[in-house]
Amino acid sequence: MAEQGNGQGWTQRTRMAAAGRRPREQFGYVNTPIYRGSTVLFPTYADLAARTGRFSYGTAGTPTTQALEEAWSELSGAETTVLTPSGLAAIAVALMTATAAGDHVLVMDSVYRPTRQFCDTMLARFGVAVTYFDPMLPADEVRALVRPETRAMMLEAPGSQSFEVPDLPAIVALARERDLCTILDNTWATPVFLAPHALGIDLAIEAGTKYLSGHSDLLMGLVSANAAWAKRLRATFDSFAILPGPEDVFLALRGFRTLDLRLREAERQGLAMARWFKARPEVARVLHPALPDCPGHGNWARDFRGSTGLFSVLLHPAPVAAVAAMLDGLRLFGMGYSWGGYESLVIPFDCAGYRSATRWRSDGPALRFSIGLEDVADLQADLDSGFARLRAAC
């Protein structure tokens, strides 16, 4: 079979089956195995002095990490990809790549909450100032927030918990005009449904913990860069040398092979459940980018190739005890953080306490659902009983 890099003309799905594989270097075995190691031996003094060979030391990568990096770069349309031990570490590496003391960064108000925490604590300590902005603010109004020392924009689409879909092409155009580095947390769509670098994004982040793993059994982050930012990303990454373990890289690469298939199913399941919620009398609003109710739905329809299984549901006003009765009795929906696994999850949330450029509005309790691979009819029956408990306690 052809080795990696001969995929011109193939569709994305086909390239995802072929990317990052080098069977001839692995005795013909289909998958690159788990390489464990710190030391790489050089055969001669001259080889050591010249650092010949693809690998030189554990922190500089192994055939296992290279396979996932190459596969991810191919899917993302990126020049390079680095792997980190969590999604949050990927965000930290990207922000440290794009900023220096004295800089100013524009950050979407709807970013993942720990991203905000990193900006307000670590970036602040290193002398980087931050301004939050409304993800739905027109680019012309965002322009007014750009200062002479502004260097980067931290974006997320759709927003965490609240699912606003910003006008990414307009924001990227503004960033280009003012020479700002654009960082996009693309975890929800993954590069399967939003090709970040084709859109002009400089650094794209994926929490591989979510759909890439798909099984709630590992933590992983990926940062991909276009040609302009590849060297600087790699240099920042090399300075930190924070690496995921080889078993997790192997499992993430295994997840990569079925990512397209699993996301298409997540889309189907997610839409079926979102539409079902929308028809429920207990539900005030469903925030799902593929439904017209969602702020920025038009942006989603224009820029994204699909939707996934994570969305929010705003209930009509109900006491906390009634929501607890609803959630505590669920048999198929686990209550816990993270998402994108094969099993369905739910968490209650409230953004009111930590948004600063926007005001979070929900008259009633808000729930975020991650729809897994269970049968939709069983999930609906479970929630039907849940809603009965909610009504009984109202």
Contacting residues toward ligand PLP, per CB under 6 A: 86-88, 112, 160, 185, 187, 207, 209-210, 219, 221, 338
Least Å from the CB of residue 160 to ligand PLP: 5
The enclosing H or E element of 104 equals: strand 104-108
The enclosing H or E element of 393 equals: helix 376-393
- Check if the beta carbon of residue 54 is closer than 8 Å to that of residue 60: no
The residue among 80 and 209 lying less far from ligand PLP, judged by its C-beta, is 209
The residue among 372 and 386 lying less far from ligand PLP, judged by its C-beta, is 372
Least Å from the CB of residue 354 to ligand PLP: 15
The residue among 219 and 379 lying less far from ligand PLP, judged by its C-beta, is 219
Residue 2 identity: A
Least Å from the CB of residue 310 to ligand PLP: 8
The residue among 214 and 386 lying less far from ligand PLP, judged by its C-beta, is 214
Least Å from the CB of residue 274 to ligand PLP: 18
**CB under 8 Å to 307, separation ≥6 — which residues?**
189, 193, 267, 270, 271, 288, 289, 290, 300
Least Å from the CB of residue 6 to ligand PLP: 33
The residue among 138 and 336 lying less far from ligand PLP, judged by its C-beta, is 336
Least Å from the CB of residue 252 to ligand PLP: 11
Least Å from the CB of residue 267 to ligand PLP: 17
DSSP for 142-158, written as a single string:
HHTT--TTEEEEEEESS
The residue among 61 and 244 lying less far from ligand PLP, judged by its C-beta, is 244
What are the residues facing 152 on neighbouring strands?
Answer: 105, 181
- Per DSSP, the three-state class of 265 is helix
Residue 62 identity: T
The residue among 171 and 204 lying less far from ligand PLP, judged by its C-beta, is 204
The Cβ of residue 116 has, within 10 Å, a number of other Cβ atoms equal to 21
State the residue number with the nearest CB to ligand PLP: 87
Structure tokens of 383? 């929630």
- Check if the beta carbon of residue 158 is closer than 8 Å to that of residue 187: no
Of 151, 106, 146, 99, nearest in space to 125 by CA = 99
- Check if the beta carbon of residue 88 is closer than 8 Å to that of residue 210: no
